[in-house]
Amino acid sequence: MGHGGALLLGVLRGASVSSSVHVRNVLFRRELKSWIKRQNPSYYPCYRYVRAVEFISLQLHAEGSLGAGGVTVTMTSTELCNLCGALPKNPVCDAQGLMYDNMCYAMCNQVNSVGPCPQLAQQHQHQLNKQKLHQQQHQQQKQHHQKQQVQQQLLQQQLQQQQQHQQQQRQQQQQQQQQQQQQQQQQQQQQQQQQQQQQQQQQQPQQQQQQQQKQQKQQKQKQQQPQQQPQQQQQQQ
C-alpha cells in the first residue's frame, strides 16, 4: 500500500483510541479512491466503487460536517461502517458485489476495535453460503451429467453387443443356407448319375439283342452259302 493509503489507514486506526475518525474531505476522497484502485485495477471502473466515495462525501456534506476549504470533519467508525454497508445496489456491478462487500469488510475491521460490523459480517457470510451452495449444486449437476454419460455408454455398448449378435446370427444363417444349397447340388448330381446308370443299363439289353441278331444273320448267311454252290454248278453244266 502507498504512502497516502497508509496515511488514511493510520488515521482510521486512530478510532480504536479516540473512538472517532478525523479526516479532511479532499484527503478522504483522494485516498479512498486510490485505496480502492490499488486493491485491484479492474475494480476501479466499477461504478459502485466510485459511487461509494461520492456517497460518503455527499452524506457528510448533507449532515453539515463538511465546510468550504476542506474543513476537518469527524466521523466515527460506526458511521463509516453503516455508510459503507448501506450503499445502494447497482445492477452494473452485481457480479462483483462480493468484492465490494469484502472491501467494506476490510475497512470496518481496520477502523473498529471491536471487530467487523455485524451487518457486513452477516452479508459476507450469506454471500459465502450462496457461493458454497452454488458450488454444491454445480458439483451435483456435474456428477449427474457424468452418471448420464456412463449410462449412455452402457446403453451404447449393449446396443453394439446386440448388433454384433444379430450379425453373427445372420452369418450363421447364410452359412446354413450355403450348406443346404451345396447339399441340394450334390443330391442333384447323384440323381443325374443314377439316371445315367439306368440309361446305360437299359441300353445294354438292346445292344445284346442287336448282337444276337447279327450273329443270327451271319449264321443264316453261312447256311445259305453251301446251298447256293450246287445250284451254281448245275447251271454251269
Question: What phi and psi, each to the nearest 5 degrees, are found at residue 117?
Answer: -65, 130
Residue 77, in any domain of the structure: yes
Q: Name the residue with cell 448282337.
A: 211
Residue 171, in any domain of the structure: no
For 95-122, letters b (16+ CB in 10 Å) and e give ebebbbbebbbebbebbbeeebbeebbe
Q: Determine the structural domain holding residue 10 and report its residue range.
A: 3-116
| d(C-alpha 5, C-alpha 38), whole Å | 9
Residues 6+ apart with CB under 8 A from 108: 77, 80, 81, 84, 85, 116, 117, 120
The answer to whether 55 and 83 are in contact (CB under 8 A) is yes
Exposed, middle or buried by CB within 10 Å (0-12, 13-18, 19+), for 75?
A: buried
How does pLDDT run along the chain (237 residues), one tens digit per residue? Answer: 333 333 344 333 333 333 333 444 455 556 555 655 565 545 444 444 445 555 555 544 444 444 444 333 344 444 444 544 444 443 333 333 433 444 444 444 444 333 444 455 566 677 778 888 999 999 999 999 999 999 999 999 999 999 999 999 999 999 999 999 999 999 999 999 999 888 888 888 888 888 888 888 888 888 777 666 666 666 666
Tens digit of each residue's pLDDT (9 = 90 or more) over 137-160: 999 999 999 999 999 999 999 999
Q: Name the residue with cell 452485481.
A: 94
Domain count of the fold of the chain: 1
Residue 197, in any domain of the structure: no
Give me the pLDDT at residue 151, please: 93
User: pTM to 2 decimals?
Assistant: 0.31
| d(C-alpha 95, C-alpha 42), whole Å | 13
